[in-house]
Amino acid sequence: MQTSNAAPVLRGASPASIGTFAPTSYTVRLPGSATAVNGISATFPTKAAMDAAFPAGEWFFSLGSNPGAPLEVRDLFPAAVPRVLYGSWNVRGQLLVPPGRDYVLTLSEFSEYGAPGVIAADEVRIEAAGSPVVSRSNISTDQPRPNTTISIPASALVAGRTLTAEAQWILVGTTNATAVPGLIGFSTCHYRVAFTISVEDAPTSAPAIVVQPASRTVAPGGTIVLGVVANGQPAPALQWRRGGTALAGATNDQLILTGASAIAGDYSVVATNALGVIASATASVAFDATVNTGRLINLSVLTDIATRGDSFTMGYVVGGTGTAGAKPLVVRAAGPSLGALGVPGVLADPRMELFAGSTRTGENDNWGGAPELAAALAAVGAFAYTGPTSRDAAVATSIASRDNSVRVLAGGDGTGTGRVIAELYDATPGAAFTTTTPRLINVSVLKNLGSGLTAGFVLGGATAKTVLVRAVGPTLGAVPFNVQRVAADPQLRLFAGQSQIASNDNWDGSAALAGVFSSIGAFALPIGSRDAALLITLPPGSYSAQVTVASGAIGAALIEVYEVP
């Protein structure tokens, strides 16, 4: 934001006045002036004229009937002229605002008006074609108030429109009349700024495909999501095609293919606006009947135990349609061995508590260096611990229950703080995986965000996999969860390596996405909530979901990754 000092913006001040609220028998004269104030105001044509008449900034009312009792009235105004409204101004003295969204107009405060007995007021009026758009007035009688604002609604900010506005500041100073009972001196100043508001013309541009749809190979019957990012002004209309033929109702930036609609072929999208038409590159959809299908095989969370008693929880759901038996897993929390890799400020002694539902099923404070456990860590590709006596935690286990979690906290006396990485691995060897092998169908982490939280996950197998990634904050604070101090507006970014591949800040509330929530057992998000969600088909590889707070309160958030069959 910048402050304008452009001359066309300022329209000068209205007449300023001084005077007394006094019996008419008193005659009040001002030094250096022949003006007599007999219970009424003496008006100067401009504020500048008043300042020129009294450069010292104060006046003395000499009472004709009692010349020995002068009454002092201080001129507050020369140092109290308000600054110009904040905003972006053009050379013609017009305030430029963007079209199509609410605009908050900020009024600067007086540099000083906090003296006792001073009344300050401001008033703003904005009109379009002579019709009122918005107005506001404020009065303050004591301390200087901070900048004040007034919001112009988006409905009034039509591209190319011009609005007229006037802001007026008023100061009224009153004196201490104890020296002369019944006499109160006053001084006032009105200061106006008249200006126009010019709504910027909406830029126009032909459609452009910024992110092309990508080819995917998935298991037969699997859900496929094709996506595109198309820019243009006005925003282009989209139409998906298969083999050059338009698909009925397929007009969003994502094309979700599932069930009978999941047909192999070549897909593309056409983007159209008034300035042109452009077709995307072709994305091929294919199916592979291999049993080594795409699946979640790892969750990792690098974060901090920030304060005494702090902790976080990783959740995981085991199962999948048509699967049976126990699921071998490796779960660990590394602190000291993380420090050996060069990470500073690590948690010296992490501890884990394992739960099935609400029942605690195990714990580990120091891994102990058992050869079987060391072999299990190596088999899943986890980096090695520094030795059998390190205070890192780890367990190798087989899970038959569906809903499970692990809580990570400081070991020992529980007072430690520092950086820790918590990891969950699918320990089924790739060669042993079959269609009946239980899978990790959901992994999650619940943690206070602080400055942010990143959860890494790995997709294994030989085919692409569709996943739902969510960052939930506001919904956690509502019934039935009732989590205290949640993140008000989590923003979700998805990375492949160092490259951001998708993002969301506030899920779109669409029936299609809500239907996916329901189909995989994810709890519903209210339409209009500020929770974030991404539905995307990804090839095998390593990914990370980064969550920060877009706006509002920092607090707890839940990162979730679901497989979508």
How many whole angstroms separate alpha carbon 490 and alpha carbon 555?
9
Cβ burial 270-292 (10 Å sphere, 16+ → b, else e):
bbbbeeeebebebbebebbeeeb
Residue 174 clears pLDDT 80, i.e. is over it? no
Amino acid type, 194: A
Please state the φ and ψ torsions of residue 333, each to the nearest 5 degrees: -135, 115
Most confident segment among 127-131, 163-167, 315-319, 552-556: 315-319
Element (H, E) at 300: strand 295-305
CA distances from 209 to 69, 206, 245, 344 (A): 82, 10, 19, 43
Give the DSSP per-residue string, 159-171.
TT-EEEEEEEEEE
> In the chain, what percentage of residues exceed pLDDT 70?
75
State the Cα–Cα distance between residues 192 and 202, nearest whole angstrom. 31
pLDDT given at position 49 = 62
pLDDT score of 52: 64
Q: What is the pLDDT of residue 551?
A: 74
Q: What residues contact 37, with CB distance under 8 A and at least 6 apart?
A: 18, 19, 20, 27, 28, 29, 30, 61
Residue 274's pLDDT is: 87
Sorting pLDDT into bands at 50, 70 and 90, what band is 85? low
Mean local confidence (pLDDT), 126-148: 71
Residue 502 has pLDDT above 70, yes or no: yes
Round to whole Å and give the CA distance between 354 and 401.
12
Question: What torsion, rounded to 10 degrees, do the Cα atoms 412, 417, 418, 424 define?
Answer: 60
pLDDT score at 337? 97
* Residue ranges in 278-381 assigned as alpha helix (H): 336-339, 371-379
Looking at per-residue confidence, does 422 or 2 come out higher?
Answer: 422
> What is the reported pLDDT for 553?
74
Exposure pattern of 449-458 as b/e (b: 16+ CB <10 Å)? beeebbbbbb
Cβ–Cβ < 8 Å for 71, 21: no
At 561, is the secondary structure helix, strand, or coil? Answer: strand
Q: Token pair 């007072």 is at which residue?
A: 415
Note whether 219 and 287 are within 8 A (CB).
Answer: yes
DSSP for 403-444, written as a single string: EEEEEEEE-TTS---EEEEEEEEE-S-GGG--TTS-EEEEEE
Alpha carbons 446 and 40: distance in angstroms, whole number: 71
Q: How confident is the model at residue 40 (pLDDT cuts 50, 70, 90)?
A: very low
71 within 8 A of 30, measured Cβ to Cβ = no
Q: What is the pLDDT of residues 483-500, one digit of tens each?
A: 999 999 999 999 999 999
Specify burial of residue 414 (Cβ count, 10 A radius: 0-12, 13-18, 19+): middle
CATH superfamily, domain at 205-287: Immunoglobulins (2.60.40.10)
Domain 1-201: assigned CATH number = 2.60.40.10
Q: Do domains 1-201 and 449-565 have the same CATH topology?
A: no
CATH topology of domain 449-565: Jelly Rolls (2.60.120)
Q: Which residues contact 366 (CB under 8 A, 6 or more apart)?
A: 349, 389, 390, 391, 392, 393, 411
CA 146 to chain centre: 24
- The pLDDT of residue 467 is above 60: yes
Answer whether residue 170 shows pLDDT above 90. Answer: no
What pTM was computed for the model? Answer: 0.69
Spatial separation of the C-alpha atoms in residues 458 and 424, rounded to whole Å: 10
Q: How confident is the model at residue 124 (pLDDT cuts 50, 70, 90)?
A: confident
- H-type helices in 522-564, by residue range? none
Percent of the chain with pLDDT over 90: 59
Work out the mean pLDDT of the chain and round it to a whole number. Answer: 82
Q: How crowded is residue 42: how many other Cβ atoms within 10 Å of its Cβ?
A: 18
Least confident of 139-143, 263-267, 362-366, 445-449: 139-143
In this structure, are residues 98 and 104 in contact, taking their beta carbons and an 8 Å threshold? no
Most confident by average pLDDT, 7-16, 142-151, 383-392: 383-392
| Contact (Cβ atoms closer than 8 angstroms) between residue 475 and residue 488 | no
pLDDT tens string 57-82: 444 444 444 444 444 444 444 444 44
Q: Write down the residue that tokens 């990375």 correspond to.
A: 495
Closest CA to 536 of 510, 558, 491, 504: 504
Residues 393, 338: Cα–Cα separation, whole Å: 12
CB 66 within 8 A of CB 180: yes
The Cα–Cα gap between 504 and 490 comes to 9
User: Does residue 239 have a pLDDT over 60?
Assistant: yes
Closest CA to 290 of 218, 222, 216, 225: 218
Every domain of the chain and the residues it spans: 1-201, 205-287, 291-444, 449-565
- Residue 401 phi, psi dihedral angles, 5° rounding: -75, 160
The hierarchical CATH code for the domain 291-444 is: 2.60.120.380
